[in-house]
């Protein structure tokens, strides 16, 4: 689950963005009403606690309910309801839907990748390629879809990427610099683009390798040569169409930036009862 403190301020800012001076039309309808949330397509539901917070901040008198996070919903399924002053329902509607659609879309996309690799025991990881200030929410959606979180921030661990290697003057110097500043229990991971670079990183003392933009055959060879020495993950060019092929190489994890930067929103609507 995700704690309310992770999104309370974000909801407040989003509501301010959406209606900085109130809703002049919606405020004309103070009478009680009720509405339902409907999924226009099948997917994985995510974002209920955030949508609840939207309604709570708009009007504590509004009553809302949503299914548990990770619930599979079919096309046309009811995925929530809200009742209270119609003015409050109209005020909260768009903001709540924005959160629900975006997070459910990420959870749904993640679940599709997880299903493809599940026979091979491979973990699907996210990345830091997240919407600014939405990271906690989007990574929650990845978990809801059955994926796993990579590091949350630059402060959480060291992943020496291409520009870091250039800044240090080579793989060996980069790993040495990382080891100097890393917490004793922290893992130093190095992004490599070839088997030769992988050998250099391991020789320098890397604890893990990110196999970047390698073909499945190269990943398989890396697993055979280095899989017992360091932790391996592959990334780059991995799509739903080829993710099973990568999983069959035996690599323990696949990190996919598209989970958070390119997943389409799930089509969810809110309809007032007449």
CATH number of the domain at 39, please: 3.90.1170.20
Same domain for 72 and 87: yes
**What is each CA distance from 202 to 62, 194, 195, in whole angstroms?**
57, 13, 11
Q: Output the pLDDT for position 274.
A: 66
161 is known as an active-site residue: yes
- 156 has catalytic annotation: no
* Domain of residue 234, CATH code: 3.20.20.70
Residues 137 and 215 in one domain: yes
Q: Are residues 90 and 29 part of one domain? A: yes
Q: Write down the catalytic residue from 129, 151, 179, 248.
A: 129
Q: Which of 10, 128, 151, 161 is catalytic?
A: 161
Helix (H, G, I), strand (E, B) or coil at 17: helix
Q: 229-268 pLDDT, tens per residue?
A: 999 999 999 999 999 999 999 999 999 999 999 999 999 9
Same domain membership, residue 248 and residue 158: yes
Burial of residue 205, with CB atoms counted within 10 A of its CB: 0-12 exposed, 13-18 middle, 19 or more buried:
middle
Catalytic residue among 53, 191, 207, 233: 191
Q: Count up the domains in the chain and report the number.
A: 2
Place of tokens 């055959």: 217
Q: Are residues 207 and 126 in the same domain?
A: yes
Q: Which domain holds residue 177?
A: 121-261
**Dihedral of CA 88/93/99/100: which sign?**
positive
Query: 255 and 132: one domain?
Result: yes
Instruction: Spot the catalytic one: 52, 69, 93, 212.
Output: 212
Residue 228, beta-bridge partner list = none
Q: Which of 56, 94, 112, 128 is catalytic?
A: 94
Residue 185, pLDDT score: 84
Comparing CA positions, the residue from 215, 213, 208, 170 lying closest to residue 190 is 208
Same-domain status, 130 and 167? yes
Written as six digits, the tokens of 120 are 């091979």
89 and 55 part of one domain? yes
Q: Does residue 231 share a domain with residue 140? A: yes
Q: Assess whether 165 and 104 both reside in one domain.
A: no
Q: Which helix (H) or strand (E) holds 270?
A: strand 268-272
Regarding whether 227 and 145 lie in a shared domain, the answer is yes
Write down the pTM of the prediction: 0.96
Low-confidence ranges of the chain (pLDDT < 50): none
Q: Is 94 tagged catalytic?
A: yes
Containing 181, the helix (H) or strand (E) segment is: helix 171-181
Which residues have a Cβ under 8 Å from the Cβ of 118 and sit 6 or more positions away?
none
Helix (H, G, I), strand (E, B) or coil at 203: helix
Shared domain for 76 and 127, answered yes or no, is: no
Burial class (CB in 10 A: 0-12, 13-18, 19+), 68: exposed
Identify the residue whose tokens are 């990845």: 142
């Amino acid at each position: 689950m995700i704690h309310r403190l992770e999104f309370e301020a974000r909801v407040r800012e989003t509501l301010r963005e959406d209606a900085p001076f109130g809703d002049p039309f919606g405020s004309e309808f103070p009478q009680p009403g009720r509405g339902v949330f409907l999924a226009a397509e099948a997917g994985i539901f995510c974002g209920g606690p955030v949508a609840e917070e939207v309604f709570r901040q708009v009007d504590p008198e509004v009553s809302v309910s949503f299914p548990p996070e990770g619930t599979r919903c079919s096309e046309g399924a009811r995925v929530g309801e809200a009742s209270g002053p119609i003015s409050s329902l109209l005020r909260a509607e768009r903001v709540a839907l924005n959160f629900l659609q975006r997070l459910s879309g990420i959870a749904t996309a993640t679940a599709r990748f997880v299903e493809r690799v599940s026979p091979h025991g491979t973990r699907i990881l996210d990345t830091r390629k997240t919407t600014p200030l939405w990271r906690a929410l989007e990574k929650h959606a990845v978990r809801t879809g059955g994926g796993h979180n990579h590091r949350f921030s630059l402060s959480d661990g060291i992943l020496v990427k291409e520009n870091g290697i250039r800044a240090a003057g080579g793989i060996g110097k980069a790993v040495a610099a990382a080891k100097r500043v890393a917490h004793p229990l922290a893992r130093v991971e190095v992004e490599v683009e070839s088997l030769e670079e992988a050998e250099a990183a391991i020789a320098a003392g890397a604890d893990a390798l990110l196999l970047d933009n390698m073909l499945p055959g190269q990943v398989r060879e890396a697993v055979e040569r280095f899989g017992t020495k360091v932790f391996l993950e592959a990334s780059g060019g991995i799509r739903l169409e080829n993710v099973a092929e990568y999983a069959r190489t035996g690599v323990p994890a696949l990190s996919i930036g598209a989970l958070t930067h390119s997943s389409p929103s799930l089509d969810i609507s809110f309809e007032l009862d007449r």
